[in-house]
Amino acid sequence: MPPRQLIALASLVSSLVATYLHLWKIGAVGSLACTANHGCEIAQFSSYGWFLGVDTALIGAVGHGVIVLVAALGVTGRLSEARWVTTLLGVLVAGGLLFTIRLKYGEWWVLGTFCPWCQVNTAVILLDAWLVVRDWRRLRAAGAVADLPATAPA
């Protein structure tokens, strides 16, 4: 399976998990399946569960949803060789990785807890980063020039 398809699939899983966490946080679904230490609840209701007044789970759901859309579009037709798709995925994943580092710092070192649902996001964003690198290598090896403007012969 090409890297972009794997990115779309992995980010879809993470988007669904983040959606579940957000829906739980706003009371739209029942109980939260978590470990006995209640790390999920501690992380979700801490100051690290919010960013600029927005639920971090909602940010994750939307962010991974955008990655899914870009990666899925990037496997269609001419876009399958377009470098700008990989560049955009790289920017999105890098932003997600930086955001995840902030969240993991808060969860592990500040709060001293562990949320297995949050770990899904961490695993997926790391996998996505590795897959973006693989996609860059794939394009470089194929000599992709889909993004170069057509020039008139001299």
Compare 111 and 40 and report the one with higher pLDDT.
111
pLDDT given at position 29: 86
Classify residue 117: in a domain, yes or no.
yes
| 8 A C-beta contact, residue 80 and residue 20 | no
- pLDDT tens figures, 47-91: 999 999 999 999 999 999 999 999 999 999 889 889 999 999 999
pLDDT given at position 5: 96
Number of domains in the chain: 1
Structural domain of 97: 3-28+37-142
Compare 42 and 33 and report the one with higher pLDDT.
42
Q: In this structure, what DSSP letter does residue 154 have?
A: -
Classify residue 13: in a domain, yes or no.
yes
Q: What is the mean pLDDT of the chain?
A: 90
Task: Report the predicted TM-score, pTM, of the whole model to 2 decimal places.
Answer: 0.86
Classify residue 149: in a domain, yes or no.
no
Grade residue 14 by pLDDT with cuts at 50, 70 and 90: very high
Classify residue 106: in a domain, yes or no.
yes
Grade residue 150 by pLDDT with cuts at 50, 70 and 90: very low
CATH number of the CATH domain containing 110: 1.20.1440.130
Distances (CA, A) of 40 to 35, 56, 94: 8, 13, 24
pLDDT given at position 144: 54
Compare 143 and 36 and report the one with higher pLDDT.
143
Classify residue 88: in a domain, yes or no.
yes
